Amino acid sequence: MPDEMARPLIRERGEGAGSRNFEASMSELGAPVVGILGTGDFSRSLATRLVASGYQVVVGSRTPKRSVALFPEEAEVTTQLEAASQADLVFVAVFPEHHSTLVQLKPALAGKTLVDVSNGLRVNRDGPSNAERLADMFPESSVVKGFNTISAWTLQMGPRDGSRQVFLCSNSSKAKSPVMQLCRRMGFIPVDMGLLSSSLEIENLPLYLFPSWRIPVICTLSLFLFFYLYNFLRDILQPYVTARKSVFYKMPIETVNVTLPCVALVMMALVYLPGLLAAFLQLWWGTKYKRFPCWLDRWLTGRKQFGLCSFMCAVLHAIYSLCLPMRKSARYKLLNLAFKQVKDQVEVSWVEEDVWRMELYLSAGIMALGLLSLLAVTSLPTVSNTVNWREFSFIQSTLGYCTLSMATLHTLLFGWNRAFDPGQYRFNLPPTFMLVLILPITVLLGRLALFVPCVAGRLRQIRRGWEKSRHIRFILPEDNCRNGVEDVSHV
């Protein structure tokens, strides 16, 4: 036993590498022989991982002599026909357009399990899937769709927290069982997706480009563009038009820095607005057994992405704010002001109100960013899996509203009494912070309305299954009525 444990797992290929060389210590007794048809990057990574997991691996290639040096010594590289004949379970790791070249192997693959790992070049919504075509091509074999969401890099480096799931589907549960066992032995987590009809969905998964991020990103960019143009119009264009004062140098940093917190606060409010709408709809309907509109349902499921976009804008705002004193224009203004005060012998005045406003404004902003960072970290799967549902709900709901309140207070302190200054209404447009505060204050007032005892009690009853109208009214049957019962609860 010590000699076997000291033997290296994968040795360098030596003389006679083309022959089959399986070590007893490399595979458990009764372990199936796994075949791989194809010699691409995925095939090489899969063979290495299977050998390291203790499986006997035989690789089928059209040119075995040329491909033999690419695989570990413990894996046999031979012809496709011989690999199909020897293996109990076969991975079909060739491009789907080349599946037709395997038809000659139909007698050797009859009665065996074929694992299709192929993907399409574009999202296929109409079907059939590659796996369904392969099943039609080999009717005497059992086709299992799987491993197409696992990259060759993941197979080489081993499973990680973010890429451990392997989606599987097949019409044969008997064929699916050994593939699931193989997944677990390799360190992955198999996820049974049902029949082979689900293979189209599995094949489309690697082709989606952030599907749940599309609306939040578009919303973030739209808000940024709107507020940037609004700030540009008020702070840059207005001085130039009215007084021919050129302050276009503010566009890269200062205007962006004013825009980012606007986007962050509005996006933060959009995280909690759909929950309020859902609560008021349940109160209006008097039941929880009625589906929300599709737009609200998508909004509710995308709140995490809205929150992370808000966090990104808040972090960028903090970085931009720290860089403001480093600008050459800021140092130029500071030196000019100091020189002017010395020249005119003007004493530097201490304005208590401005000092307090700045201190409170910065403190509230730091607290808001800290709480928002906690929300962002808790949304990570590795962190959220370590807390129970009550803890997660407390952080995302209670602390979330505290974050929104602190960010709103930060904006209010920034505005202070500027809303009552006529000079702030440039081009007759209100200050930016007044527009930004509309949605967060609406959300906070809506949340306070749900805290009213009578409203909170009724909402709690509804979410525990109470319904406003449960009675059944019997009516006389008519020609256009399927039965004599009318359910007035519309549940």
Summarize pLDDT for 413-446 with one digit per residue, the tens. 999 888 898 888 988 899 999 999 999 999 999 9
Summarize pLDDT for 246-297 with one digit per residue, the tens. 999 999 999 999 999 999 999 999 999 999 999 999 999 999 988 999 999 9
Average pLDDT, the chain: 86
Summarize pLDDT for 132-167 with one digit per residue, the tens. 999 999 999 999 999 999 988 888 877 765 568 899
Tell me: pLDDT of 343 over 90: no
Which two three-digit tokens encode residue 251?
């566009």
Which residues does 188 contact at the CB level (< 8 Å), separation at least 6?
150, 159, 164, 165, 166
Other CB atoms within a 10 A radius of the CB of residue 16 amount to 8
pLDDT of residue 31: 66
Question: Can you give the length of the chain in residues?
Answer: 491
Binned at pLDDT 50, 70 and 90, residue 334 comes out as: confident
Summarize pLDDT for 87-113 with one digit per residue, the tens. 989 999 999 999 999 999 999 999 999
User: Alpha carbon 289 to chain centroid distance?
Assistant: 28
Summarize pLDDT for 164-190 with one digit per residue, the tens. 889 999 999 999 999 999 999 999 999
Summarize pLDDT for 27-58 with one digit per residue, the tens. 454 567 999 999 999 999 999 999 999 999 99
Contacts 24+ apart (CB under 8 A), 371-380: 371/399, 371/402, 371/403, 371/406, 372/268, 372/307, 372/310, 372/311, 372/314, 372/403, 372/407, 373/311, 374/399, 375/307, 375/311, 375/399, 375/400, 375/403, 376/307, 376/308, 376/311, 379/304, 379/307, 379/308
The pTM score is: 0.77
Which residues does 191 contact at the CB level (< 8 Å), separation at least 6?
165, 166, 167, 168
Mean pLDDT of 71-80: 93
pLDDT of residue 468: 84
The C-alpha atoms of residue 489 and residue 14 are separated, in whole angstroms, by 77
CA-based radius of gyration for the chain: 33
Summarize pLDDT for 435-478 with one digit per residue, the tens. 999 999 999 999 999 999 999 999 999 999 888 876 444 455 55
Helix (H, G, I), strand (E, B) or coil at 19: coil
pLDDT of residue 402: 96
CB 79 within 8 A of CB 63: no
The C-alpha atoms of residue 370 and residue 375 are separated, in whole angstroms, by 9
pLDDT of residue 55: 93
Tell me: pLDDT of 483 over 70: no
CB-based burial label for 331 (10 Å; 0-12, 13-18, 19+):
exposed
Summarize pLDDT for 365-413 with one digit per residue, the tens. 999 999 999 999 998 888 888 889 899 999 999 999 999 999 999 999 9
Summarize pLDDT for 208-258 with one digit per residue, the tens. 888 889 999 999 999 999 999 999 999 999 999 999 999 999 999 999 999
Q: Which residue has the higher pLDDT, 13 or 375?
A: 375
Binned at pLDDT 50, 70 and 90, residue 60 comes out as: very high
pLDDT of residue 348: 65
Q: Is 127 left (phi over 0), alpha (psi -120 to 50) or beta?
A: left
The alpha carbon torsion through 389, 394, 400, 401 (nearest 10 deg) reads 130
